[in-house]
Amino acid sequence: MEHAKFDSSPLLGGLEVLEASYEKQAFSRHTHEGYTVGVIRKGAQRFWRTGGYHIAPASSIILVNADQVHDGHSATEGGWTYEAMYPTEAQFIAISKDLGLASKVPYFPFAVEEDPKLSNQLLMLFSLLRSNEDPLLTETFTHHVLLSLTCRFNKRPQLPEDITKIGPKMDLVREYLHQNATETVTLDTLSQLSGVSPYHLVRQFKARYGLPPHAYQIQLRVRRAQHMMKNGFGLADCAISCGFHDQSHFHRHFCRAIGVTPKQYQKAILCNSSIRVADKTESILPHSKDKHEQRQPLITHEE
């Protein structure tokens, strides 16, 4: 049975937490705006990160940096159960901004950590975030754990020289994709924009951002659809406005990245919200988050 529950604590403007059990779910390569910090409760997960595959057994900690490409599927016949949170860079900065650290956000060099003490602390934090029965305790422990992660993982790797040299050109391509996330973009256009041949452009872009340009654009569309659904837009409007061919195309890519269907995601978001589902004549969402995104209610997915 596939089962997933998302919740969002009111702390730090909304700290997302997940409980999930999967057996057949296979996540496509995707990214999150926030970091992934999770603990395997049962079974084992196999996932791709930083150029290779990793196995996370029971009681181990899964670590994925913000905007870092990864996927995920079961490493055992019975699937895997895990809990995770998704703190953003802004939330880490809010915790550590006055401490004089070399970096105000962490960088996780390894995909899997074996640390029973940290694992137990994370599980305690996840429980506190879900219940929030004692706000002062929850806030204090949240600050402690996030700050501990920032202090422990505070050294970033040096980029290879070839990536550093061509970086500004790839940044230009990335910015173009952000500005044209919903539009049809050709490789030839990106090549002319950057002055890099199509073959080398795809290789260098993937080396820098973890995904080739077309897959990166799909991730931008999925994120845009999430923001639209949080603002009450209908699924058909989301699919069309975000550049998907149709609702089937939208459904497939959304489910492979998020783990629940667009309908389940939107139902959970709107169940405790005053936002109505927008009609088709309304404009698409602004890029910045508004107050309705501060609290994301529970998402439940069962098959």
* Cβ-based neighbours of 260, under 8 Å, separated by 6 or more: 4, 6, 299, 301
Which of residues 194, 210, 226 is at a domain's end? 210
CATH of the domain at 285: 1.10.10.60
**pLDDT at residue 156 is higher than 70:** yes
Are the C-beta atoms of 298 and 270 separated by less than 8 Å?
no
pLDDT at 292 over 70: no
Taking CA atoms, 71 is separated from 36, 51, 74, in Å, by 12, 12, 11
Give 85-100 pLDDT, tens digit per residue: 999 999 999 988 877 7
Q: Does one domain contain both 175 and 292?
A: no
Residue 143 and residue 167 share a domain: no
Specify burial of residue 179 (Cβ count, 10 A radius: 0-12, 13-18, 19+): exposed
Q: Based on the domain organization, do 40 and 66 belong to the same domain?
A: yes
Domain end residue (candidates: 131, 152, 173): 152
pTM higher than 0.85 for the full model? no
Whether residues 83 and 127 fall in one domain: yes
Domain of residue 255: give its range. 216-302
Per-residue pLDDT tens over the stretch 194-223: 998 888 889 889 888 888 999 999 999 999
Q: What is the CATH number of the domain that holds 25?
A: 2.60.120.280
| Structural domain count of the chain | 3
Beta-bridge partner residues of 21:
3, 81
User: Residue 27 in contact with residue 84, Cβ under 8 Å?
Assistant: no
Q: 285 pLDDT band (50/70/90 cuts)?
A: very low
Residue 61: pLDDT over 90: yes
pLDDT tens column, 215-252: 999 999 999 998 898 888 999 999 999 999 888 999 99
Residue 110 phi, psi dihedral angles, 5° rounding:
-115, 145
Do 252 and 182 lie in one domain? The reply is: no
183 and 244 belong to one structural domain: no
